[in-house]
Amino acid sequence: MPVTQWTPDLALNHAEMDKTHQEFVDLLNRVADAGGTALVRELDALIAHTEAHFAQEQQWMEAAAFPPLHCHVREHEGVLEITREVRKRVAEGETHLGGVLAKAVAEWFTHHAASMDLILAMFLNQPGQFQAATACQTGCETAKSAWHGAA
Ligand SMILES: [Fe+2]
Ligand SMILES: [Fe+2]
């Protein structure tokens, strides 16, 4: 059963980011639906895609001197750390964790896309016209409460 779905609400008016996010949503659903050895394979695919997804955003942030880079990157690192840990435990037999992870990351992503990624997309689309200091604070607080709410 899908844990999330792509909707126009998730679009951030940044073609490359939006394409990556659609793929990410698809991969989360594949993890949620997989079992047995296929689950480990799907988790590997999710991890590889997520590493590239987050590295690309970090590169954009560095190139644009995006002020709230560090809080955004910290959140990415936390998600990757949890995903790698779940992959390890699934491979050791705790296969129920695949679905738990997919659901939690899907909930996290809804908030992350609507806060940190939205702010980044706006900044990339309109550099110099955006109050990044305020955005950092708002983005971090929104993301923190979303993550704690999902945990
Ligand atoms: Fe993203
Ligand atoms: Fe992000």
Cα 109 to Cα 71: distance, rounded to the nearest angstrom: 15
Residue of higher predicted confidence among 143 and 78: 78
Q: Ligand 2 centre and the CA of 43: distance in Å?
A: 19
Q: Ligand 2 centre and the CA of 14: distance in Å?
A: 13
Residue 118 has pLDDT above 60, yes or no: yes
Q: Ligand 1 centre and the CA of 12: distance in Å?
A: 10
Q: Ligand 1 centre and the CA of 113: distance in Å?
A: 6
* Domain locations in the chain as residue ranges: 13-150
Q: Ligand 2 centre and the CA of 93: distance in Å?
A: 30
- 7-33: pLDDT as tens digits: 998 999 999 999 999 999 999 999 999
Full DSSP string of 17-71: HHHHHHHHHHHHHHHHH--HHHHHHHHHHHHHHHHHHHHHHHHHHHHTT-TTHHH
State the ligand closest to the CA atom of 20.
1
Q: pTM for the complete prediction?
A: 0.85
Q: Ligand 2 centre and the CA of 71: distance in Å?
A: 10
**Alpha-carbon distance values, 52 to 24, 55, 62, 113, 139 (Å):** 11, 5, 15, 16, 22
Instruction: Give which of 102, 1, 115 is closest to 46, Cα–Cα.
Output: 102
Place domain 13-150 in its CATH homologous superfamily: Hemerythrin-like (1.20.120.50)
